[in-house]
């Protein structure tokens, strides 16, 4: 297809299309226990978190009715330090038309609980630690 980011496989596009506004999508690093959640999982092989989120946001609006439609997993030690991969994801969101985007931070173990209620998980090959995100779909 023309003008569709090649990271967005048919399987990923189907999941994004089936989501409604307010549904949540997890974009997870390579260490995230995605398959244990019991929700659909699709792989974006060879792509890091920032590239996957940029691709998703090329077809998927963030929910503008909530304070933090882009959330990330907090580090186990409770620090809020952003690593370079976190920064890259934030830049992807801002470049996609959300210049004021800031992260909501979900403590690590709360993130697992919340992720289990998401619509689906896209796994990436991201190697940076704690590079797991929840994005909320807005109205198309």
Active-site positions?
21
Q: Provide the greatest CA pair distance for the chain.
A: 44
CA–CA separation, 68 and 33 (whole Å): 24
- Tell me how far apart the alpha carbons of residues 101 and 13 are, in angstroms, rounded to a whole number: 24
Asked if residue 89 lies in contact with residue 62, where contact means CB atoms within 8 angstroms, the answer is no
Cross-sheet strand order for the sheet of 70-73:
41-43, 120-123, 24-28, 133-136, 70-73, 104-106
């Amino acid at each position: 297809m023309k003008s569709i980011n090649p990271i967005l496989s048919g399987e990923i596009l189907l999941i994004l299309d089936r989501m409604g506004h307010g549904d949540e999508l997890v974009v997870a690093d390579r260490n995230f226990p995605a398959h244990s959640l019991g929700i659909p999982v699709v792989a974006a092989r060879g792509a890091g978190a920032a590239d996957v989120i940029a691709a998703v946001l090329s077809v998927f609006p963030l929910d503008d009715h909530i304070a933090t439609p882009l959330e990330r997993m907090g580090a186990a030690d409770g620090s809020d330090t952003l690593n370079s991969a976190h920064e890259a994801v934030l830049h992807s969101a801002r470049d996609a038309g959300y210049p004021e985007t800031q992260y909501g931070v979900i403590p690590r173990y709360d993130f697992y609980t919340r992720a289990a209620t998401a619509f689906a998980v896209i796994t990436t090959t991201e190697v940076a630690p704690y590079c797991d995100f929840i994005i909320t779909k807005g109205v198309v």
